[in-house]
Amino acid sequence: MVGLGRIGRQLATFAQPLFGGIIGYDPYLPDAAWSDFVQREGDLPSLLARSHVVSLHLPLLAETRNIVDKTFLDRMPGGSYLVNVSRGSLIDLAALQEALNSGHLAGAALDVLPQEPPPPELPLLQHPRLLLSPHAAWYSEQASLELRRKAALNVVNWARTGRPTYVVVQGQST
């Protein structure tokens, strides 16, 4: 797991019985927030070298844009998998295409792309080792109810305090 915020930690909880061992890297996660079953890795290159499945859970910042480049992918073991359900622009799509074409990556699963909807001529869309979901993997009845609850709470809190609880700034929720 690269990034162990709320969503990364939840996925680690779900994945632990399936994989048996979870390795995590998150330089910003406080010591008290690490799960007992997630082995903390001190640096990203070491995590990549040891991981057969890498799942990204990062915000899109200047330092994370295209973090998954040729160097990142080359550090992963041959035959490994990449999963991205956070931000599309974390991945250099040309580098991903190359890693899939060469067979270095056995596969990739993406819920997001840098441009949505993607241009139909994007060659990666046709790759046989790419699983692409329609950026709706978050959707469930529970998530829909929570979304409505938070929207209503925003209105109530704005009326009471002059500020909503859940603010969206420059495309990122805070």
State the catalytic residues.
87, 116, 135
Non-local (6+) Cβ contacts of 12 within 8 A are: 1, 4, 22, 24, 35, 37, 38
Cα atoms found within 13 Å of the Cα of residue 29, Cβ hemisphere only: 23
Residue where the block lists tokens 């915020």: 5
CA 80/CA 118 separation, integer angstroms = 25
Closest CA to 26 of 110, 79, 86: 86
Half-sphere exposure of 172 (CA within 13 A, CB side): 7
Phi and psi at 108, nearest 5°, equal: -145, 150
Tell me, what DSSP letter sits at residue 142? H
